[in-house]
Amino acid sequence: MQLTVWTYEGPPHVGAMRVATGMDGLHYVLHAPQGDTYADLLFTMIERRAKRPPVTYTTFAARDLGKDTAELFMTAARDAYARFQPQAMIVGASCTGSLIQDDPGGLAKSLGFPIPVIPIDLPAYQRKENWGASETFYQLVRAIAGPKAPPPGTKRAERAPGVRAICNLLGPTALGFRHRDDVAEITKLLGQLGIDVNVTAPMGATPADLARLGDADFNVVLYPEIAGQAASWLHRIFHQPFTKTIPIGVSATREFIREVAALAGVDPAPVLAEAATRLPWYSHSVDSTYLTNKRVFIFGDATHAIAAARIASEELGFKVVGLGTYSREFGRDLREAAAKYGVEALITDDYLEVEAKVAELHPELVLGTQMERHIAKRLGVPCAVISAPVHVQDFPARYAPQMGFEGANVIFDTWVHPLMMGLEEHLLAMFKDDFEFKDGALPSHLGTGHAPQTAPDVPEVVIALPQGAPTLDDAASAPAAANGAAAGAVWAPEAEKELQKIPFFVRGKARRNTERFANENGVATITVETLYDAKAHFAR
């Protein structure tokens, strides 16, 4: 048993629902107890879908267990087929459904529907949501595209000259973080390269569309967590190569363009030259200088976390101080990425472990999921969301991709915004003793005639600030201060006052480092001198 408070991923049948709900003309009959329908509201509320997910639940109750739950399943499947007339059906069991050991696949087969009925076996006590989505998509592709497979050993026919290359976009699902707009962005980008999209799946595809997957020249894998397995199978059976680069960030998008251009046999140069992105210029503008070596902690699904680390480090000039994922299946990829930044990979699905790590590392920015947003809020650290799971506000009405060049623009704004907020908050706190910022002070622009000549020059402060902060930051390379470091040393009032002048987001660390320094050096009273001695000590 695992003691869990919050979970990053739902059970695997929710992954299957994400595939089914993303598609059209597919129905899912799920052997599940009353109550499992809660998952519907993830789609109707968080993603704000206007239709019920195409899922029929058997909703068995305790009184049914003594009777024939298999019969209940068959009735539900029969009714669902009659009512919804799907092109294909998937059947399976939720965690409790799997314990009662009816066989949804066999039962549904025996009903003899004139459509493909695909059993989806999801080990609910071992696997989780993304695995469920991946397995469901893979089984669907196998069952529906499989019959169109060329005989083994057949080579793909060469594309006739002058014919545009076509590809499939694989991976987007219902309830995917920004999947809707990523698909639009990448479709547009491919169009600019002269590549057409054959089928986008699962999202927006019908079972009939899945049967056409083999027509494409190659596959674009947008989300390996979901589409990796299906893409490998298509590679094996249909000899369709697939892309490995995830186009999140400017460099990655450029690489992706080169990769697809090579697969499609087109020239990437015009599109690369045009590259309509503002991130590089914004990042180079002097206003962004204060972003240099901002300490950032990154956590999310492996794909988004790895992409975010690269952007953070290479495109925004942050310092990655922590990198982690809840996607155990991609632990190796993440470890490799973490090694690049010289940080230890954190692979866990326990949010308390993530919280402890964030507290220990004292980052100045957290990039994560909904959980990290709450962790960061609690610790008073700025935060931006980069990965599922997310709440309703991260299924925005506006166009907000993460992928491609527009995605890079979105990312710049999204990540920098909370930092600006942090800076503003610091400035307000810093000036709170200023006579002009006091309650009841008249606004100086009203010309009361006594606006001070020596009023602090705001731009100067903005520039001065980052110089102070990173110096203290570097202390983090030292191991986290031992707990109970406060024992012994007492803060002198002036030192305490001086401490308040340090930006709030690094103040906690400065306090701990100073106390540790005081204790190690037998200082009983922490003075202003001690504070700066400690700063100098840890800055080495």
Partner 1 sequence: MTVHVSPCAAPAVDPVTREVRTESGQREVFCGLTGIVWLHRKIQDAFFLVVGSRTCAHLIQSAAGVMIFAEPRFGTAIMEEKDLAGLTDANDELDRVVTQLLARRPDIKLLFLVGSCPSEVIKLDLSRAALRLSQRFSPGVRILNYSGSGIETTFTQGEDACLASLVPVLPAAEDEAASLLVVGSLADVVEDQFKRMFDALGVGPVAFFPPRKSTALPSVGPNTKILMAQPFLPDTVRALQERGAKRLAAPFPFGVEGTTAWLRAAADAFGVAPAHFDKVTEPNRARAERALTAYKSELAGRRIFFFPDSQLEIPLARFLARELSMQLVEVATPYLHREHLAEELKLLPLDVALTEGQDVDHQLDRCRAARPDIVVCGLGLANPLEAEGITTKWSIELVFTPIQGYEQAADLAELFARPLVRRAKLVA
Q: Measured from the CB atom, is 175 or 419 closer to partner 1?
A: 175
Q: Measured from the CB atom, is 468 or 508 closer to partner 1?
A: 508
Write out the two tokens for 378.
């609690």
Name which position in 60, 177, 233, 297 contacts partner 1 (CB under 8 A).
60
305 near 299, Cβ under 8 Å? yes
59 part of the interface to partner 1, by CB under 8 A: yes
Which of 265, 280, 260, 279 has the alpha carbon at shortest distance from 189? 260
Q: Where are the alpha helices (DSSP H) in 85-158?
A: 95-99, 104-110, 129-145
Binders of partner 1 among residues 16 to 35 (CB under 8 A) are: 33-35
Distance CA 252, CA 257 (A): 9
70 near 107, Cβ under 8 Å? yes
Binders of partner 1 among residues 104 to 163 (CB under 8 A) are: 123-126, 128
528 part of the interface to partner 1, by CB under 8 A: no
61 part of the interface to partner 1, by CB under 8 A: yes
Residues comprising the chain, all counted: 540
Name which position in 24, 40, 121, 413 contacts partner 1 (CB under 8 A).
40
38 part of the interface to partner 1, by CB under 8 A: yes
45 part of the interface to partner 1, by CB under 8 A: yes
Q: Measured from the CB atom, is 83 or 284 closer to partner 1?
A: 83
What is the smallest separation between the CB atom of 399 and partner 1, expressed in angstroms?
19
What is the smallest separation between the CB atom of 53 and partner 1, expressed in angstroms?
8
Q: In Å, how far are 194, 300, 322, 358 from 306, measured between CA atoms?
A: 29, 9, 11, 17
Which residues on neighbouring strands pair with residue 384, listed in sequence order? 367
Which of 362, 416, 354, 357 has the alpha carbon at shortest distance from 384? 416
End-to-end CA distance of the chain: 45
294 part of the interface to partner 1, by CB under 8 A: no
Element holding 320 (H helix, E strand): strand 319-325
2 part of the interface to partner 1, by CB under 8 A: yes
49 part of the interface to partner 1, by CB under 8 A: yes
85 part of the interface to partner 1, by CB under 8 A: no
Write out the two tokens for 64.
């049914």
Which window, 15-23, 142-150, 370-378, 399-407, contacts partner 1 (CB under 8 A)?
370-378
Write out the two tokens for 152.
């083994």
Distance CA 498, CA 38 (A): 52
What is the smallest separation between the CB atom of 462 and partner 1, expressed in angstroms?
33
The catalytic residue positions are 287
Which of 318, 323, 365 has the alpha carbon at shortest distance from 340? 323
Which of 506, 300, 484 has the alpha carbon at shortest distance from 402? 300
Distance CA 244, CA 125 (A): 30
- Report the relative pairing of strands 490-491 and 345-347 from DSSP bridges: unpaired
51 part of the interface to partner 1, by CB under 8 A: yes
396 part of the interface to partner 1, by CB under 8 A: no
What is the smallest separation between the CB atom of 238 and partner 1, expressed in angstroms?
34
Q: Measured from the CB atom, is 31 or 512 closer to partner 1?
A: 31
241 near 263, Cβ under 8 Å? yes
Q: Measured from the CB atom, is 44 or 471 closer to partner 1?
A: 44
What is the smallest separation between the CB atom of 172 and partner 1, expressed in angstroms?
21
139 near 33, Cβ under 8 Å? no
Count of residues near partner 1 by CB under 8 A = 56
380 part of the interface to partner 1, by CB under 8 A: no
What is the smallest separation between the CB atom of 305 and partner 1, expressed in angstroms?
21
Residues forming the site for partner 1 (CB under 8 A): 1-7, 9-11, 13-14, 33-42, 44-45, 48-52, 56-62, 64-65, 76, 79, 83, 94-96, 99-100, 123-126, 128, 370-371, 374, 378, 391
